[in-house]
A and B are shown apart, each in its own frame.
Chain A
Amino acid sequence: MQVMTDLFARIFGDGLSSLGLLVAGGLTMALIMALVMASCAIVFTWAERKVAGFIQSRYGPMRVGRWHGVLQPVADMVKILGKEDIVPRDADKPLFMLAPFVIFVGSLMAWAAIPFAPGFIAADLDLGLFYIFAVSSAATIGILMAGWASNNKWSLYGAARGAAQAVSYEIPLALACIPVVMITGSLNMNDIVIAQQGGIWRWHFLHDPFLFVAFLLYFVASIAEVNRGPFDLPETESELVAGYHTEYTGMRFAFFFLAEYANLFLVSCVATAVFLGGWQPLFGPVFLPGLVFVIKAVLLVLLQMWLRWTLPRLRVDQLMHVCWKVMVPLALVCVLGAGIWMLATGQAG
């Protein structure tokens, strides 16, 4: 944000008031983040198919574009644009039309607080981390809206499962970040990254054993939170057709798709900023911060893809078991353990 307002201030000189600068800068950042989301969908749909193909000993897309089907996402986009927008006769029309917006806008708003580089954060909120959790849980409402409004049994099952899964895994997700907040004493995403300055040993996931467990808990819970394999029960194609977006076509379907891949990158970005040092390099001084940040997040995304195509899907009872009987108690232990560690090592008290 600071980068953008400075840029506009330099371009327009005194021609813009401070409010004008704020609006111009904010809208530019929103546009950039929307483009980041769109490029997530474009890059990761292609990468996902290539990863899946590689893991299953086949090629994946090879035809569109000269090299390894790189233009496949573009072809998909053109096809989606040309698809008719069908609203089922029995659907609840206003809700049906609103649901993709809730999911998309909720995802876009969460991007406002991701610190890509020093000064390059759209909204430098003091409540940053908390804000990201709050806004991204709007997706749950969107999922329920989509499933209920479709008036389709598959959609309803998918939505009920998706909501139950998302709210359940939100607990270990949020609990796992509390030790980091205890260390930094701030919810501001910038402060959290700056606290990890000075090489890999200062990154939060290596701070103490409890934080390492907390990082693993966050990672697992975030996969479940974005409804991806092995936790993709809301859209199990073998039993629920496509889950809560069964009835959606064309551009409205594309919003769900866009939000899914954008959220995949979003949770990886949050993990990067909170646990993996954000824009801080492995060692040495800060160097190309934005690139370092994106590389870390993309590596996490690739890890999630690897897991998706390696592990079989959980059953719904196993899903609830893992969350409530393993991850929530473990996360509580992490919070207490991190507190004891800090008191014992003299970092607090």
Chain B
Amino acid sequence: MTQTPCLAAVATGLHAGYATVLLFLLFGIFFGNLALGIARLVRPRKPGGEKAVTYECGELPSGSSWVRFNIRFYLVALFFIVFDVEVIFLYPWAVVFKPLSAAAGSLVFVEMAMFLGILAIGLAYIWVKGDLDWVKSLARRSGTEVGGE
């Protein structure tokens, strides 16, 4: 029953839940390896030949597929970062919304409404600019060229 105070704190204290999460991580790795290990005992192993060639509908693959992505995926990633940070910001506010409103009235709500309003303007901006369109229309594209942006 002797254990260091630190471990005892982990076992009983605030962070017991996160210790369980760590156990889940370790168990997941173990379980995956176990399944692969069982499969290794059963499955055939005849490496080499054509089956190691990358699948391209039966043709010989032409070149590597480590190519450049379409720029649109980067745009989506950028929007995601902006909005995800905003969601992270919203969560602590949502947790304390009730008690804070009781103390400070509707000011708590108005402040967040202003923040969301600014964010909505940003969304409207990328919407008008056409960055939310997966396929930008030709007219819009030539329009930006004429406008010299």
User: Which residues of A approach B to under 8 Å, CB–CB?
Assistant: 1, 14, 17-19, 21-23, 25-27, 29-31, 33-34, 80-91, 100-101, 104-105, 108-109, 111-112, 122-126, 130-131, 148, 150-156, 160, 163-164, 167-168, 170-171, 174-175, 178-179, 181-183, 185-187, 241, 246-247, 250-252, 254-255, 316-317, 319-321, 324-325, 328-329, 332, 335-336, 339-340, 342-343, 347-349
| B95 and A17 contact, CB distance less than 8 A | no
B106 touches A343 (CB 8 A): yes
By a CB distance below 8 angstroms, the chain A residues around B98 are 182-183, 185, 342, 347-348
Interface centre among B35, B90, B116, B123 (most CB of A within 10 A): B35
Q: Known: A17-B1, A84-B46. Is A108-B24 also a contact (CB below 8 A)?
A: yes
Instruction: Determine if B32 and A104 form an interchain contact, defined as CB atoms under 8 angstroms apart.
Output: yes
A-B CB contact pairs (8 Å), 30 listed: A17-B11, A19-B10, A19-B11, A29-B20, A30-B23, A30-B31, A80-B39, A81-B43, A89-B52, A105-B29, A112-B20, A125-B18, A125-B21, A151-B54, A152-B55, A152-B65, A163-B73, A164-B77, A167-B84, A178-B87, A181-B91, A181-B95, A317-B134, A319-B134, A320-B132, A325-B127, A325-B132, A342-B97, A348-B102, A349-B101
CB distance from B77 to the nearest CB of A (A): 7
Q: Which of A18, A88, A324, A347 makes the CB contact (< 8 A) with B11? A: A18
Query: B135 interface residue, CB < 8 Å from A?
Result: yes
A163-B20 Cα distance, complex, nearest whole Å: 29
| CB proximity to A under 8 Å, residues B11-46 | 11-12, 16-21, 23-25, 27-29, 31-32, 35-36, 38-40, 42-46
Residue with the greatest number of chain A CB neighbours at <10 A, chosen from B10, B54, B119:
B54
The answer, yes or no, to whether B138 is at the interface (CB within 8 Å) is no
Whether A167 contacts B76 in the complex (CB less than 8 A), given A19-B3, A347-B98, A349-B105, comes out as yes
Question: Are A171 and B102 also in contact (CB < 8 A) when A26-B24, A33-B24 are?
Answer: no
Residues of B within 8 A of A254 (CB): 35
* Given A30-B31, A123-B21, A182-B97: 20 more A-B contacts, CB < 8 Å: A27-B27, A29-B24, A30-B24, A83-B43, A88-B52, A88-B53, A89-B52, A90-B64, A104-B28, A171-B87, A174-B87, A186-B95, A187-B91, A251-B39, A254-B35, A319-B134, A335-B116, A347-B98, A348-B101, A349-B101
Q: Which of B62-99 contact A (CB under 8 A)?
A: 64-67, 69-70, 72-73, 76-77, 79-80, 83-84, 87, 90-91, 94-99
A109-B76 in contact (CB<8A): no
**Closest B-chain residue to A187, C-beta based?**
B95
Given contacts A89-B52, A123-B18, A349-B106, contact A105 B25 (CB under 8 A): yes
Whether B95 contacts A34 by the Cβ 8 Å rule is: no
Tell me if B139 counts as interface (CB < 8 A to partner A).
no
Interface size on B, residues (CB 8 A): 80
In terms of DSSP, what is the predominant structure of the interface of chain A?
helix
| CB pair B39 A321 closer than 8 Å | no
> With A and B bound together, what is the CA distance between A82 and B38 in angstroms?
10
